[in-house]
Amino acid sequence: MKHTFMTLAVTLIAFGSCKKESTQQAATPATETAAGAKVSAAASTISFSGYTWTVRTETGTSGPGPNYWSNSSSNVWVDANGYLHLKLRKDAGTGRWLCSEVYTNQSFGYGTYVWQVEGRVDSLDRNVVFGLFNYKSGDDGHHEMDIEFARWGNNAWPNYNYTVYPQTGSGNANYTAELKLNGSYTTYRFIRNSSSVSFSGFHGHTQAAANAFFPWTTPSGYNVSTVAMPVHMNLWLFEGNAPSNAKEVELIVHSFTFTAL
């Protein structure tokens, strides 16, 4: 999503060794998205990191984007190591770019959310968005906590984004930074409680304080959501625009863990 800033945006650089749109809609069987795209009544599921995830698939386009979403094993799969692969690819037959999204069948509330990622998330094309987030479907602009790697179509904009949408009211709390890595293994975390959401990234697959980068917490008194919500991961195209470099993208999530408070 192209975000409206409530907090001061910060542009920094991190070195390591090792905006969603308002139309975002999670697919659920036998329903329609806000954009009118029919959702498959037989959406597939996968098992990853001890949870069951629904793989989003639709017969048309919908937000964010609008984009096409595919549950093909060429877009989403779990390998022999138990790692989740998400791919953005161009279908040779139709010429369409097919995006990927998965979301848990279980909802999560207060606790610590951690993803271990493999891939150069700092080098994504300006039109490509990779999101890790907690989201309540059907109430856009509320009940959401995002970690997003995106330049929102503009190479001049920073590529690392934290955003929290309130439980009620309008506006969001946002932090942005310029992420540059020397390797492809990173960890991302946020911690939810009744009064705040705290974020951090880490070089490598660790949460060691020495490896941390870009810590940020929502401003004091911010109206954070208290609702339990599914976890989503997606790989998509900003405003539905093809990658400017015309290259497909594949990212690997080694694990997702949730520890309740």
**Tens digits of residue pLDDT in 27-47:** 333 232 333 333 343 459 999
State how many domains the chain has: 1
Q: 């293994």: which residue's tokens?
A: 185
pLDDT in tens, 99-138: 999 999 999 999 999 999 999 999 999 999 999 999 998 8
Check: CB of residue 9 under 8 Å from CB of residue 217.
no
Q: Whose CA is closest to 184, among 228, 126, 129, 120? A: 120
Q: Per-residue confidence at 20, pLDDT binned at 50, 70, 90?
A: very low
* Residue 179: domain span: 13-260
pLDDT reported for residue 24 = 33
- CA distances for 199 relative to 147, 161, 230, angstroms: 8, 10, 18
Check: CB of residue 102 under 8 Å from CB of residue 121.
no
231 in any annotated domain: yes
* Strand pairing report for 185-192 and 111-118: antiparallel
CATH of the domain at 186: 2.60.120.200
1 in any annotated domain: no
pLDDT reported for residue 146 = 98
176 in any annotated domain: yes
73 in any annotated domain: yes
Cα dihedral: 41, 44, 47, 49 (round 10): -80
